[in-house]
Structure 1
Amino acid sequence: MRTEIEWVVQGIHEGFEGNLSIADFGRMARLSPCHMARLFHQETGLTPSGFLLAVRMEQARRKLLKSERSIADIADEVGYASLGAFTSRFTKVTGVSPGKYRRLSSLGSGIVDMVTGTEAPTYFTYGSVTGRTLRSDGLTREPVYIAAFPMSAVGRKATRCCRSGNSTDPWNIAHIPSGSWLIEAVSRTVGGGRHDVVVGQAGPFRITPGSVVNVDVVLSAPSKLRVIEPDRAQLGLAVPNLFNC
């Protein structure tokens, strides 16, 4: 990564709680704001504001999981003057509200939302997606984070996620409700060009009760990914460990 962009990345990590602007990003890089923005996107596949969002959401997630601070305090600590704005953004990015995220996390990482009031076996209520990831950068031992996103009612349903220990391992996402779903994957990479991550996308796929969909997801540079939910895609590209939910 270019030194100027590393300065911006470091500056965002150190000052994410502040009211950072495009002018601030330019000063960090010692470049004009427009030139810096072009370079940042070329180097990372993200806009500076998208990366800032990712860092803020990652910090908020960590605080929700590892502290007992109020959600209002956490919103302030990650740079949001308005609790409503923070709640809206967090919900759009992760699929659940901050309060629900904290409650679900206390039940364990494998918890899933069950259909209220149903006594039907899980197999007959949900479908699943299995697959493998393909990559050409040689980093087959690098873990891959895979998530399923609903195509409808985006932002109101929680994603289903999993982690593959390395790129050659098969993976499975179970307990996916009926509907159309998109699969996105992300993994870190080094020495493969201008980008720090490789990403992939497959679908949309139709999930029906009891169905098992098999897919191959090809990982490549972020610039080649056609995103359907920009905020979520940017978050995953910048902070892959959020997919380990």
Structure 2
Amino acid sequence: MTTPTVEHAVRRVIDDMHTNLGLEITIDDMARTAMFSKFHFTRIFRDATGTSPGRFLSALRLQEAKRLLIETDFSVADISSQVGYSSVGTFSSRFKACVGISPSMFRETGGFLPRLETDSHGTSASPRATLRGRVQTAGEHAPGACFVGLFPTPIPQGRPVRCAVLDGPGAFELRDVPTGTWHVLVHSVSYGAEHLPPGPDREDTISVGRYGPVTVADGTLLMPADITLHTPDALDPPVLMALLDLRTSALESRPRPREVAGALTS
């Protein structure tokens, strides 16, 4: 359990990350800011956020890049430099891998995906586990459409391994879950705000939740995953994947549509 003193140190480091996104920040720098040894700091940071300091910093840089692409006319090269990348090619490749589309396409579409593809990881004809659960709200935001994704890391980035889109909080089912260790990550946007571009206006309407890690082995019977949504906190890794445009959305899986999440659940 994270103590108030430790949590304050981690928050101080995250504030420093936000302030210095364009600069090189090493683990040694972060540990000095937190006033802990490097090894102890890395452990407490992972305990508090679910991921490593380096990955968290990378996620913050891409989150800022998403905002700049929507809110400014800066070139992709300028934005890549502003968020700490020395190579625009490396930035563009990393952005596409984590967000799902290239920086230029993200700008062109206003930050939305017309459809969502899942990773083909673990596709097999043999029986697999099914993960069922329920998304519920704590009442901080009006309910809205919920995206439920199964990811290999605690950061919602890249293609989910399995996913479902709900009309609102409620039951979900992820079928054909492959063996491995996964994180169930949920984000929801309040009704009426689904198509706001990235920025402060949308941040006030988003709720997030997570469950896991979940380890799946052959013959595993998975316990139900109950996930309560909450307003994003500084300790929550940002949602990097582009949001699904629910006006024109269609879930597409590979190789067969029925393997995505079983169905769109409502």
- The question of a shared fold, defined as TM-score above 0.5 by the shorter chain, is answered with yes
Alignment partners' CA distance in 1, 2:48 and 2:167: 26
The root-mean-square deviation of aligned C-alpha atoms, in Å, is 4.4
Alignment partners' CA distance in 1, 2:45 and 2:170: 32
Alignment partners' CA distance in 1, 2:107 and 2:149: 20
Higher relative contact order at CA 8 Å, sep ≥6: structure 1 or structure 2?
A: 2
Q: Secondary structure at the match of 1:102?
A: helix
Report the Cα offset of residue 244 of structure 1.
Answer: 4.0
Report the Cα offset of residue 218 of structure 1.
Answer: 3.2
- Describe the superposition over 1:133-163 as per-residue Cα deviations: whole angstroms up to 9, x where unpaired: 335xx72555675155799xx9689x99968
The letter for the 1-side match of 2:186 is V
Alignment partners' CA distance in 2, 1:37 and 1:145: 32
Q: Secondary structure at the match of 2:28?
A: helix
Alignment partners' CA distance in 2, 1:112 and 1:200: 24
Superposition TM-score, scaled by structure 1 size: 0.57
Match of 1:86 in 2: 91
Q: Secondary structure at the match of 2:106?
A: helix
Superposition TM-score, scaled by structure 2 size: 0.53
Matched length = 182
The letter for the 2-side match of 1:219 is I
- Describe the superposition over 1:24-57 as per-residue Cα deviations: whole angstroms up to 9, x where unpaired: 1101101111111111111111111111011111
Match of 2:41 in 1: 36
Comparing both structures, which one devotes a greater share of its residues to helix?
1
- Describe the superposition over 1:32-83 as per-residue Cα deviations: whole angstroms up to 9, x where unpaired: 1111111111111111111101111110011111111110000001110111
Q: Secondary structure at the match of 2:62?
A: helix
Report the Cα offset of residue 84 of structure 1.
Answer: 1.1
Equivalent in 94, 111, 114 of residue 111 of structure 1? 114
Match of 1:74 in 2: 79
Match of 1:225 in 2: none
Match of 2:138 in 1: 139
- Structure 1: gaps of 5 or more residues: 114-130, 172-178, 189-195, 205-215, 222-236
Aligned CA distance change for structure 1 residues 132 and 63 (closer, same or farther; 3 Å): farther
Report the Cα offset of residue 97 of structure 1.
Answer: 1.2
Report the Cα offset of residue 164 of structure 1.
Answer: 6.3
